[in-house]
Chains A and B, each alone.
Chain A
Amino acid sequence: MSAPPVFVIDDLTAKPGRGEELLRAYLERYAPGATRRGMSLVHQLVSPAYWLPDGSNRLLFLWSVAGAGGAWAMKHAGREDPELLAWWTEEAPQLVASRTRSICAEAPDLGTLGDV
């Protein structure tokens, strides 16, 4: 039986009027490396569902990885990558007002994941 999937949610609030630019930068600068680290992009959601010329769009990127092993593989590969650090500490802050990252699982899988 394969490990239950694990999901990574990047919840980004764009600086006013920079939502579309942030989406483009995230997909061009961040997403390819994430894919190489074993992450699969499932959703790229925007709220509200149009670009705000003066307000802050919220962008949610939902990724999946293969279980706890996939989560560790993603993390360990990222910690060796200076470009990834530069993305989050130098490039993204120019377009992001605030952000959170959550690592989640489907509620029915919690028992399986915790039974180790």
Chain B
Amino acid sequence: MFSSLRLLRGPMSSEIAQAIRTTKAVRALLEPTLPGVWNGGDWIWRADYRDEAHYRTAESDLAGLEWLKDAEHVAFSPGQSGGASPARGVYRVALFCAIRDPSPERLARFAAETRTMPRHVRSIRRWQLSTPVQASGSRVWTHVWEQEYEDLAGLTGPYMLHPCHWSHVDRWFDPEDPDWLVDPMLCHAFCETRGPVIA
């Protein structure tokens, strides 16, 4: 499996929607973002391909679409994941760019701590933390942090309010903390789902 995710800006034309839907993805999500995203665009397009070769073929078919060039984009093999997707609910993705002293040791600690969050935040039903092999947009993204919830309250409530977030993992994002790692410019996007998103 190989995944591509874009956060797209602007109105969706029927031409674009058709082009996106005709790529040979084994699974795809194309949904408008919900109010409250931050640098999250207007649409989330996430596609799973059989492998990286199928992804690259799909990309070459889309190469002429100007509209895609303004997107935040990551392409990645699935990273560590856990949980089970709800039948429907809310999908959230965050794109991070580790900029400050991103040594292998610090990146490993950051990833390990991020992966512990679903153990504490009970509203996270499914999650995945991946490392892009291709990234573009406002930053060269280094991490793709995805979650699925049964509803938006799971994201805005427990995920934001549990101490594992604001008193522990967030220090990697905090320029006031000596452990600061991640560029404050990040993407935070979410949308409604009508089926499982993370394979």
Contacts and interface: CB of A to CB of B under 8 A. Distances in A.
B161 interface: yes
Prevailing SS type, chain A contact patch: helix
B161 A68 contact: yes
B176 interface: yes
Interface in A89-116: 89, 99-101, 103-105, 110, 113-114, 116
Contacts of A85: 175
B83 interface: no
Given A75-B170, A114-B120, A101 B163 contact: no
- Contact-residue bracket for chain B: 10 to 19
A6 interface: yes
Interface in B109-165: 120, 157-158, 160-163
A60 interface: no
Nearest to A67: B161
Contact of A99 (B168, B173, B175, B178): B178
A71 interface: yes
Contact of A105 (B120, B158, B163, B173): B163
Nearest to B170: A75
A12 to B, nearest CB: 10
Contacts of B158: 116
B174 interface: yes
B175 A79 contact: yes
Given A116-B157, A116-B158, A116-B161, A71 B167 contact: yes
21 contacts: A68-B163, A71-B166, A71-B167, A72-B166, A75-B170, A75-B176, A79-B184, A84-B175, A85-B175, A89-B175, A100-B178, A101-B174, A101-B176, A101-B178, A103-B166, A103-B167, A104-B167, A105-B163, A110-B163, A116-B161, A116-B162
Interface of A: 6, 68, 71-72, 75, 78-79, 84-85, 88-89, 99-101, 103-105, 110, 113-114, 116
Given A71-B167, A100-B178, A103-B166, 9 more contacts: A6-B166, A68-B160, A68-B161, A78-B174, A85-B175, A105-B167, A113-B163, A116-B158, A116-B162
